[in-house]
């Protein structure tokens, strides 16, 4: 078997959080943790509930892409009940929590590609999908889905080899998923509590972005922009200096680094 074995008890035992990861639903195989998390959230699941699967058979990525999710890696969703004002910062929270936990467990330095891909040596090691149910000014729930390539053997997936990496690939040895998961849950809660009590994580997120100052191509819907990623606003949007010299604010999109 690739990777250490997981269970709800192993994840929660002695976990130093107040609520994130105090309730864990573990599945050996699921279509997608996002669907189970949505169902749980609609049934009133406690804040911090985590849905985790050893393998996903229909993992979902941003922009309706598929997310490859074989055994040995991390695929989990966390249910939160944030205030409306915190919503834009959750992208920052999730990517920073991943960066911190990867470094704490493995020593590897990673960076964020706007809006929330995590890269090591320029290759994607983690994808994040955030879905919220909002009614008026009220957030019923938010689900943060995180997929980390922990022990992915890239030789088995030549189609993603040019753009993806895994922690084990970078280190040349297997990595404990349990250590990464537990550290990640602690970090999610720490940053979430900081945000909820008025703290800012914007500066750290901005400084961790590999995108800024780079020539980029951004695809948003059917529109493609080219220019230099000049800055990010506090709401997480990207400020792009286009080739014509104007500044365009992009709220969501897919970035390709051109340099
Ligand atoms: C992306 O980079 O496009 C986002 C990928 C998000 C993948 C995670 S794995 C856990 C959760 N369940 C899913 O089906 N997707 C997210």
Cis bond upstream, residue 36 (ω within 30):
no
- Give this prediction's pTM: 0.96
Which mutation among 35, 66, 75, 254 tests ligand 1's pocket best, with the greatest number of atoms within 8 A of CB?
A: 75
Give residue 146's pLDDT.
Answer: 98
Q: In the structure encoding, which two tokens stand for residue 106, read together?
A: 């493995």
For residue 51, pLDDT over 70 is answered with: yes
Q: 65 CB less than 6 Å from ligand 1?
A: yes
Give residue 64's pLDDT.
Answer: 87
Q: Which residues of 5-27 are buried (b: 16+ CB within 10 A; e: fewer)?
A: ebeeebbbeebebebbbbbbbbb
Q: Could you read off the pLDDT of 22-36 as tens digits, one per residue?
A: 999 999 999 999 999
User: Nearest residue CA, atom 7 of ligand 1?
Assistant: 147
Residues 6+ apart with CB under 8 A from 201: 89, 92, 93, 96, 191, 194, 195
Select from 130, 140, 138 the least CA-distant residue to 40.
140
State which ligand 1 atom lies nearest to the alpha carbon of 61: 3
CA–CA dist 221, 208 (Å, integer): 26
Q: Could you read off the pLDDT of 160-216 as tens digits, one per residue?
A: 999 999 999 999 999 999 999 999 999 999 999 999 999 999 999 999 999 999 999
Q: Quick one: pLDDT band at residue 109, thresholds 50, 70, 90?
A: very high
Q: 56 CB less than 6 Å from ligand 1?
A: yes
Question: What radius of gyration, in Å, describes the C-alpha atoms of the chain?
Answer: 18
Residues 6+ apart with CB under 8 A from 92: 116, 201, 202, 204, 205, 236
Q: Could you read off the pLDDT of 237-251 as tens digits, one per residue?
A: 999 999 899 999 999
Centre of ligand 1 to C-alpha 213, Å, is 27
State which ligand 1 atom lies nearest to the alpha carbon of 116: 2
Select from 196, 97, 63, 95 the least CA-distant residue to 139.
196
For residue 1, pLDDT over 70 is answered with: no
Q: 95 CB less than 6 Å from ligand 1?
A: no
CA–CA dist 109, 82 (Å, integer): 29
Which residue matches tokens 């059917």? Answer: 222
Average the pLDDT over 50-56 and give the result.
98
Centre of ligand 1 to C-alpha 68, Å, is 9
pLDDT above 90 coverage of the chain, percent: 92
For residue 7, pLDDT over 80 is answered with: yes
Tell me the pLDDT of the chain averaged across its residues: 95
Is-contact 201 195, C-beta < 8 A? yes
Residues in the chain: 259
For residue 80, pLDDT over 80 is answered with: yes
Q: 60 CB less than 6 Å from ligand 1?
A: yes
Average the pLDDT over 121-149 and give the result.
97
CA–CA dist 182, 74 (Å, integer): 11
CA–CA dist 55, 33 (Å, integer): 10
């Amino acid at each position: 078997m690739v990777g250490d074995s997981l269970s709800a008890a192993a994840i929660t035992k002695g976990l130093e959080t107040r609520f994130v990861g105090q309730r864990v639903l573990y599945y050996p195989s699921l279509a997608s943790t996002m669907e189970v998390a949505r169902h749980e959230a609609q049934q009133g699941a406690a804040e911090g509930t985590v849905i985790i699967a050893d393998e996903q058979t229909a993992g979902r990525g941003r922009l309706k892409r598929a997310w490859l999710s074989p055994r040995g890696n991390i695929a989990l969703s966390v249910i939160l009940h944030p205030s409306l004002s915190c919503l834009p910062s959750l992208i920052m929270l999730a990517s920073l929590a991943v960066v911190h936990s990867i470094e704490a467990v493995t020593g590897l330095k990673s960076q964020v590609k706007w809006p929330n891909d995590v890269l090591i040596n320029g290759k994607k090691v983690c994808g994040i999908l955030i879905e919220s149910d909002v009614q008026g000014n009220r957030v019923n729930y938010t689900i943060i889905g995180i997929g980390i390539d922990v022990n992915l053997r890239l030789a088995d997936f030549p189609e993603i080899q040019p753009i993806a990496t895994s922690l084990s690939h970078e280190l040349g040895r297997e990595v404990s998923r349990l250590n990464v998961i537990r550290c990640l849950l602690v970090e999610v809660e720490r940053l979430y509590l900081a945000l909820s009590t008025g703290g800012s994580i914007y500066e750290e997120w901005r400084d961790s972005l590999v995108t800024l100052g780079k020539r980029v191509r951004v695809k948003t819907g059917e529109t493609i922009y080219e220019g230099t990623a000049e800055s990010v606003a506090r709401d997480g949007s990207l400020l792009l200096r286009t080739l014509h010299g104007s500044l365009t604010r992009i709220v969501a999109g897919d970035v390709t680094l051109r340099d």
